[in-house]
């Protein structure tokens, strides 16, 4: 049995382009008898915060110590989120661009689950090593204004480089990225959406 976790970072529901593309991907794979799908809407309120107690716990773990008290409770909440994330064999991330980057709720998710000894290891001489090896991911990225080749006045992409870096840093090297970036100044949205849907279908065949 293969477990697919869909992490959706858009709060726009049926108006979301990223969710529509993710739904098209899921429609291609949902009938597979060997596939279990978990949809984690990152806006559903289930993400814990990662404030002073959790940060203190993380630094205790870095130092080889065991968190206690409020820090231990905060650490367990973070690990519960990590366990749900780690239980998947493959990931589908549907992500709109916000202010050149990613929605804050996705950054919160990344900060919650990216913990030493779980998502990454660290060596003082060799640096970081990703621990989530053998998994694969599909990134569905959208933006309404930014697009490759457009002037900087239309934005800069901190979305794709950051997410591809984070997945690789975590040890997930099999990553397929699909972009839908319609140019608001032209009428090419339908053409670009069709191209993105074709890429989605191709990616689904490789799951």
- The CATH number fitting domain 2-205, selected from 3.40.50.360, 2.40.10.340, 2.50.20.10, 3.40.50.12170: 3.40.50.360
Supply φ then ψ for residue 109, to 5 degrees.
Answer: -60, -45
- Non-local (6+) Cβ contacts of 89 within 8 A are 2, 3, 4, 135, 136
End-to-end CA distance of the chain: 12
Taking only the tens of pLDDT, the chain with its 207 residues reads: 999 999 999 999 999 999 999 999 999 999 999 999 999 999 999 999 999 999 999 999 888 899 999 999 999 999 999 999 999 999 999 999 999 999 999 999 999 999 999 999 999 999 999 999 999 999 999 999 999 889 999 999 999 999 999 999 999 999 999 999 997 767 889 999 999 999 999 999 999
Q: Which two tokens stand for residue 2?
A: 């293969």
Neighbours of 29 (CB within 10 A): 17
Taking the C-alpha atoms of residue 200 and residue 46, their distance in angstroms, rounded to an integer, is 28
- Bridge partners for 136 per DSSP: 90, 174
pTM: 0.95
Q: Where are the domains of the chain?
A: 2-205
Measured between alpha carbons, how far is residue 69 from residues 54, 116, 194 in Å? 11, 20, 53
Taking the C-alpha atoms of residue 141 and residue 177, their distance in angstroms, rounded to an integer, is 7
- Bridge partners for 95 per DSSP: 141
């Amino acid at each position: 049995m293969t477990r697919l976790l869909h992490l959706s970072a858009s709060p726009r529901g049926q108006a979301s382009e990223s969710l529509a593309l993710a739904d098209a991907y899921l429609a291609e794979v949902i009938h597979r008898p060997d596939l279990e799908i978990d949809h984690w809407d990152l806006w559903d309120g289930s993400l814990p915060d990662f404030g002073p107690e959790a940060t203190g716990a993380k630094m205790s773990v870095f130092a080889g110590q065991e968190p206690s008290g409020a820090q231990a409770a905060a650490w367990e909440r973070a690990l519960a989120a990590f366990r749900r994330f780690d239980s998947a064999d493959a990931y589908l991330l549907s992500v709109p661009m916000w202010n050149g980057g990613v929605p804050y709720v996705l950054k919160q998710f990344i900060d919650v689950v990216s913990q030493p000894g779980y998502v990454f290891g660290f060596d003082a001489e060799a640096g970081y090593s990703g621990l989530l090896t053998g998994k694969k991911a599909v990134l569905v990225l959208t933006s309404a204004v930014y697009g490759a080749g457009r002037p900087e006045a239309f934005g800069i992409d901190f979305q794709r480089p950051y997410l591809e870096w984070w997945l690789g840093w975590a040890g997930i090297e099999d990553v397929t990225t699909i972009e839908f970036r319609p140019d608001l100044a032209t009428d090419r949205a339908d053409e670009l959406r069709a191209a993105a849907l074709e890429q989605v279908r191709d990616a689904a065949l490789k799951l």
